[in-house]
Structure 1
Amino acid sequence: MRLPNLFKKKSSREIAKDRLKILLISDRAGCSPEMLDMIKQDIAKVISKYMKIDTNNMEIQISKSTIRGRGKNPTLYADIPILDLHN
């Protein structure tokens, strides 16, 4: 089992890329980057009660998708790496 490098510092390129992703996602969903970050923190807090997750590599996206022919609605997608389950 490979352990994540918790002390690895992100390069300025990676930081800029992450910021751009957040900006584009928030623009599409009509939600501010601050709000998107608060949502991400809340999701991480709740899921952390039940399992150990990698919050550094956690990604959330809000996009618009068609659901059952009702038109385009905002949809939340989450990619959350699970490191261990709490028993």
Structure 2
Amino acid sequence: MGLMDLFKKKNSGNVAKDRLKLLLVSDRANCSPEMMEMIKNDIIQVISKYMDIDADALDVKITETESDANNGTVPALFANIPIKDMKHQPKDN
């Protein structure tokens, strides 16, 4: 599943197929739904220090990507984090 695949209009069969792929990749990466929720909460906590985000619309999943060593695909963490605004840090004197 490439980046451009995310923008294509999909029928319900293709959506189900993509969900199954994501489930299988998550399973192969040994990442339970509970672990994904903990990762999501940690990301929200850290990112929220620097910017206002839409935590309800945050989407975190494990996908596949080509490895840098050209030996096939490897699991990759994908996070879509809607940013509402940047927080301004006080200047040090």
TM range, smaller chain: 0.5 to 0.7
Residue type of the partner of 1:28? V
Q: Deviations over 1:46-80 (max 9, x none)?
A: 00000000000000120122122132211111110
- Counterpart secondary structure, 2:35: helix
TM-score, normalised relative to structure 2: 0.62
Which stretches in structure 1 are left out of the alignment for 5+ residues? 1-20
User: Structure 2: any 5+ residue segments left out of the alignment?
Assistant: 1-18, 89-93
Tell me the distance in 2 between the aligned counterparts of 1:86 and 1:65: 32
Q: Which has the larger radius of gyration?
A: 2
CA contact (8 A) 1:51 1:82 kept: yes
State TM-score, norm by structure 1: 0.66
- Residue in 2 that maps onto 1:51: 51
